[in-house]
Amino acid sequence: MKINKLCTIISLIMVLVSVTSCTNVFDESQLEQSPEQDLDFDKVFTDYQQFRQYLDYSYSFMPGHLGRLWNSMVAELSDEAEGLGVNVCSPAFNNGAWSGDKIPGVGSNPVANANRELGDLWDDLFKGVRQVNNIIKYIDLVENFPSQKIYDRSLGEAHFIRAFLYFELIKRWGGIPIFEKPLELGIDKLDLPRNTYEECIAFIVKDCNLAAQLLDLENSVGDTGRATKGAALALKSRALLYAARPLNNPNQDLEKWKTAAAAAWDVINLNQYSLDPDYVNMFFKPDLGSEIIMNRPRPKINFDQGHIDNGNFSVRFIAPQGYRGWMGTAVTQTFVDLYEDSNGFPIENVSSNYNPNAPYINRDPRLKMTVLYNDRYWYDRNTQFYTGGLDYGNTLINPMGYSIAKFWPESHQRYKGTSTYLNYIFFRYAEVLLNYAEAANEAYGPDGAHLGANLTARDATTQVRNRVGQVPIPLAISSSTESMRARIRNERAIELSFEEHRWYDVISWNKGVEIFGEQNPIMGMKITKNPDDTFIYEPYLYETRVFKPHMHRYPIPNSEIYKSTVLEQNPGW
């Protein structure tokens, strides 16, 4: 069958735009294809090798880079972190200055990099939808697949990627137009209204189910990074959890929570994954290990490498000046306060053993595993976050008192000839356990289990905490659904810290005003060193941020609204 150079439409009403960034998802040689052009489909959809390049490139549309906002991390949008210096874009969100208009000054105005989370991301995600829609529609034209198994896997990958892209869209914008096939100029209607959130979830779940049927349980070593059955089910679990949360389930329909619990249990019941006993080094392994369900493989990098579009994350970006870093992202005192004491109590609880004069002892072990704080040993000396200390800085100042340790192997230092893997993790088993815990608690209470599952919400959280040596959640603060809900949400914050979950979790809980707004100001820690080498710790108000109720949904780019007669903007924008 002859297909002449076929122009298809992906973003509501658009002409084809070429993509300027590519990633080494599997191998750089596989990504020479430029899919966003007026292509001769005879070449792409008749020869398997060219088809595979086209398919592999589709993965690059999945947001999967901790530095994708260039000089900012998504953690800075939340209470986890503060962006420091003049080159960050997070103030656009922190100050409530974002909107449906494109922020001007790309290339000269650092704040314009916020577009990467707003209108630019909208465009890129729909470009990816167009690409995988082409694959799903025209895959049968490829005549030389090596095997039926490869055909099935390829089709499953396309359905998985489309589901992933649609979830990334609806978790930000809510219900959006659904495109099930590539649109053709002069044939298909181009100006489409938004589908409901529920219709989008059903579409995503359908794609996840199809993908799970077609994909293998695990891939060969050379295909690490491709979707698997577990990845498709993990995506389904995440999507249904978000669908059950208050922003999308304001009437607290328990059936949605039960469905979310069932989806998480489907992943657990595969018996394919387990928690990695080495929480600290899990992020620096070249392979998936036992816990990582799907990642984006990257080559090893040295201390300075990686800060490129869709490439590796640069460790230097989070390191303080005393370790020759740029000190771009610092952890807030507000977030550090979420780490429990060693007995499992919040530090403000009357039963807590927290000591404000020695704030880092008797804490959840993950505090030391994920955060650099004052006077702890790191590499070859004790850290110095006190005023005037090496890690407080003299030109690249860190006024917060903390840095991220989670994505920085201790031995990985500048000018030391070291290198490390730092693969972006899309899904890991700990998240699935916490998905289950959250859903099961809402549906069945802290100590009830989903039908057919021999696991309670308490059991699931205990597994996650046992791995790092933290005690189970005390019964005194988790005996009801309401009290357990608060502890599970806190557990997600700590276990998944800085991994691009917190901002979206809080928004989907409909808690942005309470947690990201003026009710919960950003605190830093002022540290003074005494002559006797002891320290004075004084939390202080660093910043009061702006978050309004309408910000729980992103603004659809105004450029899309203006050229449509039926597309409606989210309320408040």
Is the distance from CB of 507 to CB of 543 less than 8 angstroms? Answer: no
Q: Kindly state the helix (H) or strand (E) to which residue 538 belongs, with its residue range.
A: strand 535-543
Angle formed at CA 13 by CA 9 and CA 16, multiple of 5 degrees = 45
* Cβ–Cβ < 8 Å for 286, 419: no
Per-residue model confidence (pLDDT) at position 433 = 98
Distance CA 132, CA 119 (A): 20
258 Cβ partners below 8 Å, 6+ apart? 439, 443, 450
CB 407 within 8 A of CB 313: yes
**pLDDT tens, residue order, the chain (573 aa):** 334 333 333 333 332 233 323 333 333 333 233 344 445 677 899 899 999 999 999 999 999 888 888 889 999 999 999 999 888 999 999 999 999 999 998 878 999 999 999 999 999 999 999 999 999 999 999 999 999 999 999 999 999 999 999 999 999 999 999 999 988 777 778 789 999 999 999 999 999 999 999 999 999 888 889 999 999 999 999 999 999 999 999 999 999 999 999 999 999 999 999 999 999 999 988 889 999 999 998 777 776 655 444 455 677 888 999 998 889 999 999 999 999 999 999 999 999 999 999 999 999 999 999 999 999 999 999 999 999 999 999 998 999 999 999 988 887 776 677 777 888 899 999 999 999 999 999 999 999 999 999 999 999 999 999 999 999 999 999 999 999 999 999 999 999 999 999 999 999 999 999 999 999 999 999 999 999 999 999 999 999 999 999 999 999 999 999 999 999 999 999
pLDDT of residue 24: 35
- pLDDT on residue 39: 57
> Residue-wise over 249-274: b if at least 16 C-beta within 10 A, else e?
beeeeeebbbbbbbbbbbbbebebbe
Structural tokens at position 316: 């230097």
Q: Give 423: exposed, middle or buried? Use CB within 10 Å, 0-12, 13-18, 19+.
A: buried
> What pLDDT is stored for residue 459 in this prediction?
98
Q: Please report the sign of the dihedral spanned by the C-alpha atoms of residue 472, residue 474, residue 478, residue 479.
A: positive
State pTM to two decimals. Answer: 0.92
Query: What is residue 415's predicted lDDT score, i.e. its pLDDT?
Result: 63
To which H or E segment does residue 307 belong? none
Cα angle 543, 549, 553 (rounded to 5 degrees) comes to 105
- What is residue 169's predicted lDDT score, i.e. its pLDDT? 98
Provide the 3-class DSSP secondary structure of residue 502. Answer: helix
